[in-house]
Amino acid sequence: MTARPVKLHLVPSAPVPEPSSDRAPDSEVTEVRGDQPVRSSETSALDALGDESLVPLVAQGHMGATELLYRRHAAFAFNLGVRIAGSATDVEDVVHDAFLRAFESIGSLRNPKAFRSWLGSIVVHATRSRLRRGKLLRLFGLGRGGDVVDIDCIASDQASPRARAELAQVYALLQTLPADDRIAWTLRFVEGHDLKAAAELAGCSLATIKRRIRRAQRYLKNHFVAAHDGADGADKELEP
């Protein structure tokens, strides 16, 4: 029996709730964040800056720029982690650690405009480590069973019950794949990145990302269905 392709009804990227801040009364014109006061006029000026201008300020220890860069990219980082992991379990910690690593080494970023994709690669690496660590712990009976797929974090509100069930099955299959293959397929067919961008995020060559996607795609086809609209042409796309 031939199953029909699965449509990935994904939830749109939603803003991550911003950390609350204690604002001064309306008559005041400053906010205190950490040990550095940030004037409201300065905050407005920062909001108008692009990443290429904020990154050097963060490298200099500017607290306002650091907070703004976090708020600007937190939702992206969180959603990326959730869609790779299949649930929100531990993803907040993964994203928190990824931002810390990014801010600690931000001076090494050669192209400040590329902060978002650079951060994404750190999130991917951190999520990969979490997946591998979880599998190793389960192998030795030290961790919990396989993470339960949290469809509410992945599927859109418009997804039908059948689509949600199919999506859950796809993610259940993805959990059985090696972390690298799972990440490669997710970056390509869930996040929608082209092959070059997926390779950069995964920290591997174009040939390697193609190989990983091909393995994952064939596994999914053998165990379920072509799991993405247009995925029937994926093998052709991956040809050199």
User: For the segment 23-48, what is each residue's pLDDT rounded down to a tens digit?
Assistant: 333 333 334 344 454 455 666 788 88
Question: Is 122 within a domain?
Answer: yes
Which region among 92-96, 100-104, 228-232 has the lowest average model confidence (pLDDT)?
228-232
Question: Which two structure tokens, joined as six digits, stand for 199?
Answer: 């390779």
- Please say if the pLDDT value at position 197 is more than 80: yes
More confident: 111 or 20: 111
- Please say if the pLDDT value at position 98 is more than 90: yes
- Please say if the pLDDT value at position 62 is more than 80: yes
Burial class for 7, CB neighbours closer than 10 Å (0-12, 13-18, 19+): middle
Number of structural domains the chain divides into: 2
More confident: 118 or 20: 118
What is the Cα–Cα distance from 165 to 185, expressed in whole angstroms? 19
Question: Which two structure tokens, joined as six digits, stand for 167?
Answer: 């999506």
Question: Is 23 within a domain?
Answer: no
Q: How confident is the model at residue 115 (pLDDT cuts 50, 70, 90)?
A: very high
Which residue range forms the structural domain that includes residue 218? 177-240
- Please say if the pLDDT value at position 172 is more than 80: yes
> Do 150 and 47 fall within a single domain?
yes
More confident: 182 or 240: 182
Contact criterion met (CB below 8 Å) for 192 and 126: no
Question: Is 11 within a domain?
Answer: no
Threshold 0.85, pTM exceeds: no
> Do 51 and 107 fall within a single domain?
yes
> Do 126 and 224 fall within a single domain?
no
More confident: 70 or 173: 70
Output the CA–CA distances (angstroms, integers) from residue 50 to 71, 113, 116, 220, in the order listed.
13, 8, 11, 40
Check which CATH number belongs to the domain holding 141 and give it.
1.10.1740.10
